Structure 1
Amino acid sequence: MVAAASVVVAVGTATGMMSALDAGSGSEQAKPEVTGLPRVGQLPVLPTASGRATKSASATPSSSRPASASPARTQQKQQPAAVSAALLYRHSDSKVLDWVRANPGDPRTPVIESRIADQPAAVWFADYTPVTITSRVHAVTSDAAAQGRVPVVVPYAIPGRDCGGASQGGAPDLAAYDAWIDRFAAGLGSGEVVVVLEPDSIAQSDCLSDRARADRFAALARAGRVLKAADSEARVYYDAGHSGWNPAAQQAALLKKAGAGTAASSDGIFSNVSNFHTTSDEIGYDRQVLAALGGPAGLGAVIDTSRNGNGAPADGEWCDPAGRRIGRAPTLSTGEARIDAYLWVKLPGESDGCKGTPGTFSPSYAYDLASS
């Protein structure tokens, strides 16, 4: 496991979020046994849901790269950018909802249901299944449109993902990936959708040769163009790692090569996917990255706040670290300039691989996150 990345632990289809899989192909939802009663103590203030919870995929990065320098926190309060007033979409099928439905009498269920299952989260598409990808994406986006809500979808099939680590997989080559993205885009429809494009694909590209990296970045730039051309309401965000990983200027230079600074491909950047860095640190870092990236003034950032309520562990642990808690509720209205959304890209309770098989739901871990 690379100690540096937002490691997306993936087994079969990948780790982390809920995933929209083919019927019957990804339903090995491990249901861990109840191991004890919940601890008695004061629960955190329940976040206000800005929509319903979404399903995410079997692949989610959980990261830990030593920071070379912590970005300075923003000193000034700026006017918030204009953002959508719509609510985020909650997918009706996920591992946490499976567990809640199957365990109505478990003493942890009310906390897990109200604080995690009822929140919107991303829908991951982490298994390379070109024949069904269009229909699977369409099932999510059409259901969201019918509810008047905005889905968050995560294409996660770039070749060589996770540098051959636990989340390895994806398309066999870039030509196949291009074709998969074309089919993915065909399922978007015409409604508003947030696309978190290929977590770790840019920040964790140092394992590639210069030529392979350039080819990957060209494929990512093309992917953004294809997605935005297919749906004029699609908002596509590119991988900025997180505030404890690459310095902002270095990350911006990589993002620029991947097309993240052009309006034809990009609406901005995402950070902290499956990681734990505080929202304030990510806001400061993302603004630094955007400033260095340049491009249209409308480029913004989205931040994964699913597990960052207590910040990152001091020792840099990334795999289901103890003492973490859920962060701010997902919303498309942050009140922060250039910060377009707080999202739950990694679903709290889905293991990075230490509290269970990667991607499986751990009720004890979910309860700890929701009640600590």
Structure 2
Amino acid sequence: MRAHLPRRAHRTALAGLLGAALAFAGAASAAPAAAPGSGERQAADLQGPLYVDPDSQVRRWTAANPGDSRQPVIADRIASQPQARWLSHYDPGTVQQEVAGYMSAAGDALPVLSVYGIPDRDCGGASSGGAPDLPSYQNWIRLIASGLGDHPVVIILETDALALEDCLDQAGRDARHAALRQAVTTLKSAGPQTHVYLDGGHSGWHSPADQAARLSASGVAEADGVFTNVSNFHTTADEVAYGKQILAAVGDPDLNLVVDTSRNGNGSNGEWCDPSGRALGANPTLSTGDDAVDALLWVKPPGEADGCAAGAGQFVPDLAYALATN
């Protein structure tokens, strides 16, 4: 199974978040074109449709359980939607072939990969693991980049690597920043259609200025932008407002935002590990109605546990059904 990081709830939510509203499109599609003469980077850099992985855990479960009473709802509301493929096992012998096969299978669609293998991942928590050391990690990243070819792809690079770095000493944080800078450079070298986003945490965690400093030290200027809310539950409006504050603090107009909406339909209740009462958020789309927001994505596949209801990354039908029906 693929282990996904459960996101911790931290202290109080940021005060003064802008009440930004976001126009959603119900299906994955290409973003609107730039306004003539605007001179601003537009979300049209990403072209859809987003790729639906036929071998995801939820698709395998729905295929294997046609008589289950929960199956029709899970198939219709979750299995039909594009979701990220997580590269979360340190597997240098097979990862290049896996990535190349996934790019080929995607055809004309846009796949999303969540690369999740940095050493000291999750600070030894429920989603611990990753490469044994930073040189091994850089080799793993090179193999991933080699498998990408020139296929368009969105890379969600190392969820929580920055927001959760406080468990490291200063030397460890500096080494992690350097590793992420190198990883961005390596992945972007695959070609101009490789779009890389770095960890922005979420709106209930660090201040925008703090997260922006971590991102700047980690090579975000060479990436395409920042992702927020992966494996968490904060509302899209709060995440867009928070993400824009991060981008303003970084001060690079070429950077944009991606928000994970997979489980944020009812917002956050302050818990991070398989909390009850949550719901699916807006369907994945590239048509966000906001030039600063490249995509709404389902990075954390709905129904895959955070580490409390089951092992991190394990598909749990009851979790999926609850998200789909709440």
**TM-score, normalization by structure 2:** 0.91
Partner residue in 2 for 1:16: none
Q: Does structure 1 residue 73 correspond to structure 2 residue 18?
A: yes
Partner residue in 2 for 1:126: 88
Shift of 1:358: 2.4
Shift of 1:73: 1.8
Shift of 1:209: 1.0
Tell me the distance in 2 between the aligned counterparts of 1:58 and 1:268: 24
Tell me the distance in 2 between the aligned counterparts of 1:63 and 1:87: 32
Contact 1:71–1:284 at 8 Å: present in 2 too? no
Post-superposition CA distance 1:89-115 (Å, at most 9, x none): 011112111211111111211110010
Partner residue in 2 for 1:178: 138
Partner residue in 1 for 2:3: 58
**TM-score, normalization by structure 1:** 0.80
Contact 1:71–1:285 at 8 Å: present in 2 too? no
Shift of 1:120: 0.4
Post-superposition CA distance 1:4-62 (Å, at most 9, x none): xxxxxxxxxxxxxxxxxxxxxx5xxxxxxxxxxxxxxxxxxxxxxxxxxxxxx432433
Counterpart among 156, 163, 170 of residue 196 in structure 1: 156
Shift of 1:123: 0.4
Post-superposition CA distance 1:162-215 (Å, at most 9, x none): 111121111111111111111110011102100000000011101111111111
Tell me the distance in 2 between the aligned counterparts of 1:341 and 1:237: 11
More helix by share: 2
Percent identity (aligned): 49
Contact 1:71–1:281 at 8 Å: present in 2 too? no
Shift of 1:74: 4.4
Shift of 1:75: 5.4
Unmatched 5+ residue regions in structure 2?
A: 24-31, 35-41
Q: Does structure 1 residue 281 correspond to structure 2 residue 211?
A: no
Taking structure 1 as reference, are residues 149 and 333 closer, same or farther at Cα in structure 2, changes over 3 Å only?
same
Let me know the Cα RMSD of the aligned residues. 1.7
Q: Does structure 1 residue 331 correspond to structure 2 residue 290?
A: no
Q: Does structure 1 residue 301 correspond to structure 2 residue 257?
A: yes
Give the counterpart letter for 1:302 in structure 2: V
Return 93-102 or 320-329, whichever deviates more: 93-102
Partner residue in 2 for 1:95: 57
Contact 2:97–2:147 at 8 Å: present in 1 too? yes
**Matched residue SS, 1:195:** strand
Aligned length: 309
Contact 2:5–2:126 at 8 Å: present in 1 too? no
Partner residue in 2 for 1:240: 200
Runs of 4+ in 1 over 3 A off after TM superposition: 60-63, 74-82
Contact 2:47–2:110 at 8 Å: present in 1 too? no
Matches within 5 A, 1:13-32: 26=1
Contact 1:161–1:169 at 8 Å: present in 2 too? yes
Shift of 1:232: 1.5
